[in-house]
Each structure stands twice: as C-alpha cells, then as structure tokens.
Structure 1
Amino acid sequence: MKIVPVFLCFLLFLTFFLSSLSEHCNPQDKKVLLQIKKALNNPYLLASWDPKTDCCDWYCLECDLNTHRVIALTMFSDDRLTGQIPAEVGDLPYLETLIFRHLPNLNGTIQPSIVNLKNLKMLRLSWTNLSGSVPDFLSQLKNLTDLDLSFNNLSGSIPSSLSSLPNLDALHLDRNRLSGSIPESFGMFHGKVPDLFLSHNKLSGTIPASLGNMDFNTIDLSRNMLEGDASMLFGSNKTTWEIDLSRNMFQFNLSKVEFPKSLARLDLNHNKIMGSIPAGLTGVDLQFLNVSYNRLCGRIPVGGRLQSFDYSTYFHNRCLCGAPLEACK
C-alpha cells in the first residue's frame, strides 16, 4: 500500500529534475531579470516572467540560441508601466538590443548603468517621459548601430562625442527640448555617416561648415531655430536621398545650389531662402518638394517633376511665377 506514494514522490522528483535540466536561461540573467521586474513594480507587461519557468521563454526578451544568454530586452506600448529604467539593465552583459518604447509613464533620466552594455547594438528609448540630458557616456558604446532617443523630454546640448561612434547607421534625437548648436564634430563622424534626425528641438546658431564634408543619406533639421547658410549640405557629387530644413531661419541663395541626382525629398518651407529655383532641379527625380514661405523669385523651370507638384509647393514667395503658379508677366 505504501508503494504508490513512494512511486508518486519519485515521479515528482523526476519531473522537477528533468525540468531543471531543460531550462536554458542563465541563472545570473534570470536573477537580474526578476530584479528588473520588481524595480518596475511587477507590471502586467512582464506577467510571463515567472521564476518557475525558463526565462528564455518569457515575453519581451530574447536569448542567444547557442549561449542562452539574454541578448534582447524589449518593452513597449504599455501606459500602465511606471517608474524609471532600472539600474539592473546594466547587469545583462550580453545584451545587444535594449528598447523601452511607447511607455508614456516611464520617467527619470537615461540610466547610467547602460554604459556597462559593451555589446549593445541597438538602443531605443523613445516615446517616453525621460528627461535630463543626452549623456556623454553613450559614446563609449562603440558597437551601437542604432541610437534612438526621440519623442522624449530631453534637454541641454548635444554631446559632440556621439560622432565617435564608428558603426552608427542612424541617430535620432528628434522631438525633444535640446538646445544650443549642432556640434562641429558632426561633420567628422569617425565611421559611417549616419542618418541624422534633429528635428523639433530648440537648436540655434549656424550649421557647422564641416557638415558639408558629410554625405548624409537623410538629414532632418526641421523645426528648430537654426540660421545662416545651409547650402553646404547639397552637392552634385553626393548621394543624399532626403533633406528637410523646414521651419528654421536659413538664409542662402538657392540659385547657386547644385543638387544630388539621388535626391527624392526636399523640404525648405518657412525659411528666408532667396534667389531662384535652379534649372538643375529638373534633372532630379523628386518625390516630394516644398519651397513655400521663402523669398524666392523668378520663373519655375519647366521640366522634370517640377510641374507635377501643386501650387502649395511654391506659394508665399516673393515673386515666383510659372506653372503651377500664375504665368510670368
């Protein structure tokens, strides 16, 4: 009669033993993850983070198939998650991707312990309530390919050291409260030339002439308080796809500008740009163009795609004429 209970105990032990063997998650990583969950007040987003289960099966993260170390931590789209980025994120040494996105109640500053993540390739802290400055220590993360700090409440100046990131494909600092000037060093990126997004900030002053040395694929400086000459961003020898300088105070002669043949999107609206639209723009296969609200004069050149845009592309200039505006007198 006692054989059955003993046999059941043996089965329970065997089940527990086999389940422990099947767990792939690194014990130290699991410990850190549970600390992160606790620091965030056990949000519903992390409900699957059960200490009795394999952490490599939990939502919001990814383990390497060979080493079983946590390589990605991704939290997004939860307005119930509150608090600050836990310091423990810096204790996941194999992390390559760290994303906190669309979390409107995530506050505080960018966590300094992130500097420990030497393998990090993608850092996206966007659409949150993060404040404070863009930290200089981010320049120590030499493996970063994507740095996205957009749609936050970050303030202060842009650290010039970000140009030392050798593998950066894209730098998003747009939609913040950043002030000061664009660093001179952004005309001397040490590796790749990243797509540069600085729009919707409070940046002021002139563009460093050194930016003319860069062949940006995309550069968006719109909705700031920048002034002076921006013509160095153009050039017939460049391969730029998009330039957005709209809603600033730029002032230069458009007549003398030579455009990349690759240019698909050009937005110059609401500036103080003068001169005329150069005939060279007819040779560019533009998908989007807006030069409205400037000080341009003269006839709109005929050819290319310039007549495919409606009057709103050109209106509110000093004396532009010709299709799609009124005929020149």
Structure 2
Amino acid sequence: MEPLQKFSFLIIIFFAILSPSFSDRCNPEDKKVLLKIKKALHNPYHLASWNPEVDCCIWYSLKCSRTTNRVYKLTIFAGQINGQIPAEVGDLPFLETLMFHKLTNITGPVQPAIAKLTNLKYLDLSWNHLSGPVPDFLSQLKNLIFLDLSFNQLSGSIPSSLSTLPNLTSIRLDRNNLTGQIPMSFGSFAGEFPYLILSHNKLSGSIPASLGKKDFGNLDLSRNRLEGDASMVFNSKTRWIDLSRNLLEFDFSKVELSENLTWLDLNHNKITGSLPESAIVSLQFLNVSYNRLCGEIPVGGDLQRFDYTAYFHNRCLCGAPLPPCK
C-alpha cells in the first residue's frame, strides 16, 4: 500500500471510531422497543429497514438526537400496515414527535400508553381508522403543541381538559363522529392558536361565547349541528372563519368584520339581516349563500368582485352581482 493510501485508510478508521455517524449510536433500549413495535405491526415491508443488525438511528421513519442518541421522532405513514397502535410506543421516553398517518388499516382506540410520553410535542394520528373517544389522558401531555386526530372514526364528546395544556396551539379533530358541545373552556387556551378545526362532526348546541375572546388563525366549525348566535366569533382577529352548514341564526347586520379576516364561509345557515356596511377589504373568499339575508349588497367596497354564487338563495338579497333591487 502506498504511503498516501495508507494514511487515508488510517484517517477513515480513525473517524469511524470517533464519529457517531460511523458507529452504532442507537440506544439499545430504544432498539428493543422499536423491534417490538415492528413485531406488533406484523413486520410490515414498510419497516424493512428496521434490521436488528443495523444502527437504528439510520432506520427509516425515525430520527435520533445528535446529543443523546435517543429516538425523538417516530413518523410512520402511508404504508400497508394492519393492527392497532402498539402499546410499546409509550416506552420511547424521549419522543417529541409521534405520527401514525394515512394508515387506513390501523384500528382501535388512541393508545393509552401515549400518556407516558411526557416530552411529546407533536401528536399526529390522522387519516387512520381509529375509534373510541378523544381520550382525557391527552391533557397529561403538558409539552404538547400540536394535536391532530382528524379523519378517523372517533366518537363521544370533546374533553374540556385539552384547554389546560399550556403549550397547545393547534387542534384538528375534524372528520370524525364527535357529538356534544364545544367545550366552553376552548376560549382560554394560553398562547396563540393557528388552528381550531372541528368540522365534519355531529357537534350540537351553541358556540361558546368564550371563543370570541381568542384570536385563531383558522376557525373551522363547519358541517356540524351548531345553532344560535355566532356573532361573537367576529369580535376576534381570526383570519379564516368557516361556519357553513350548521343551524346558526343571528343578525348579520350587527356584525363588525375585522380587517384581518381573509376567508368567510357562512353558507347553509339561518342567518338574517343584511350584509355589514363595513368595507370588506381583505377578503379573498366569501360565501353567504343559502341563508335568510335581505337588502342590497353594499357597493363601494370589494363585495362585487365575488360572483353570484357567493350570495344566491337568500330571502331578499339583491344588487350586483345578483339581480338589481326593485
């Protein structure tokens, strides 16, 4: 071997010994747990890289911390995987992100062992076939920032205890079979709240007045059975409001629309009154069709740039882009 080649070879060996990227840095306890998870999921091809002879930190669907070498991220999605979420996920104490997403053959409840994951920040169990309730034990995850249980078969009421989570900023519970009322406490989340999405359920009763005290990025309560007044939600600086396809009934002429509002969908309700006189400058989308509105569509703002489908099927709403008032 030439001296230069020999030197290069020794350098490679040296870094293989010292660098974590060249050595097996997977925590042995984590590896045992991960292999149990693979077995519980019937050794799917999706987890073929989970070879016990290989460093688990280079397996697909997970990440290890560069400082602790512990598994902090487990993201299993879009695979042909059957069964329930394994209880062993609760034995990965350093997990900050847990995702089981678009696994339509994953059934059963939200795994109770998840309550042990006190470091968890992001929980995404969406687009599966989970059933049972939204569990109250989620309120034990005090570091949780993001919760997504959408597109499942969850039933029962929404636990009010979720509002006690000090760091929670987004909830998606849409496309389930949830019933009961929206918890009154949902207006008291601690920080900013980009997403509160509860659409496509069977929620009933009135919208809590407390929601008017909270600025949401996106507030979507559409396609439920909500009734009564919803004018309080316009008191906030929420940017996206979708209350469509409910049983809401209030006087829209008394509503002050925020300049922050960019999306407003109120179609298929029982809303009365006239459109607010205030100029709607920032709106990129508007739909107030299939209500009980009357009067002339105000001119001088931006309301005429939306086509007639945004306004049709009201009691006596008129003016461009609808036929002229008589």
- Shorter-chain TM-score: what band? over 0.9
2:165: which partner in 1? 165
SS, match of residue 305 in structure 2: coil
Structure 1: stretches of 5+ with no match in the other structure? 1-13
- Counterpart residue number, 1:8: none
Q: Which residue of 1 aligns with 2:76?
A: 75
What is the rounded CA distance, in whole Å, between the counterparts of 2:17 and 2:108 in structure 1? 43
Residue 194 of structure 1 and its aligned partner are, at CA, apart by 4.8
CA distance in 2, matches of 1:188, 1:177: 24
Q: What's 1:178 paired with?
A: 178
Rounded Cα–Cα distance in structure 1 between residues aligned with 2:318 and 2:248: 22
Shift in Å, 1:265:
0.1
| Alpha-carbon distance between aligned partners in 1 of 2:34 and 2:196, rounded to the nearest angstrom | 33
1:245: which partner in 2? 243
Q: Tell me what 2:291 maps to.
A: 294
Deviation string 1:125-173 (CA, Å, 9 cap, x unpaired) is 0000000000001011111111000000000000000001111121000
- Conserved 8 A contact 2:205-2:226: yes
Deviations 1:199-243 (A, max 9, x none): 0000001112222221222110000000000000012xx321100
Root-mean-square deviation over aligned CA pairs: 1.6
Q: What are the within-5 Å matches in structure 2 for residues 1-329 of structure 1? A: 22-78=23-79, 80-235=80-235, 238-280=236-278, 282-329=279-326
Equivalents in 1 of 2:305, 2:192: separation in Å?
35
Of stretches 283-292 and 270-279 in structure 1, the one that deviates more from structure 2 is: 283-292
**TM-score, scaled relative to structure 1:** 0.91
Report the residue type matching 1:292 in the other structure: S
Which residue of structure 1 aligns with residue 3 of structure 2? none
Query: Quick one: which amino acid aligns to residue 299 of structure 2?
Result: V
Tell me the amino acid that sits aligned with residue 300 of structure 1: I
Gaps of 5+ in 2: 1-12
Aligned-partner residue type, residue 161 of structure 2: S
CA contact (8 A) 1:93 1:116 kept: yes
**TM-score normalised to the size of structure 2?**
0.92
Q: How far apart, in 1, do the equivalents of 2:245 and 2:298 lie?
A: 24
Alignment coverage as a number of residue pairs: 310
How many Å separate the matches in 1 of 2:258 and 2:206?
22
- Alpha-carbon distance in structure 2 between the residues aligned to 1:93 and 1:325: 60
Runs of 4+ in 1 over 4 A off after TM superposition: 17-21
Asked whether the equivalents of residues 76 and 101 of structure 2 are also in contact (C-alpha less than 8 Å), the reply is yes
Q: 1:290 corresponds to which letter in structure 2?
A: N
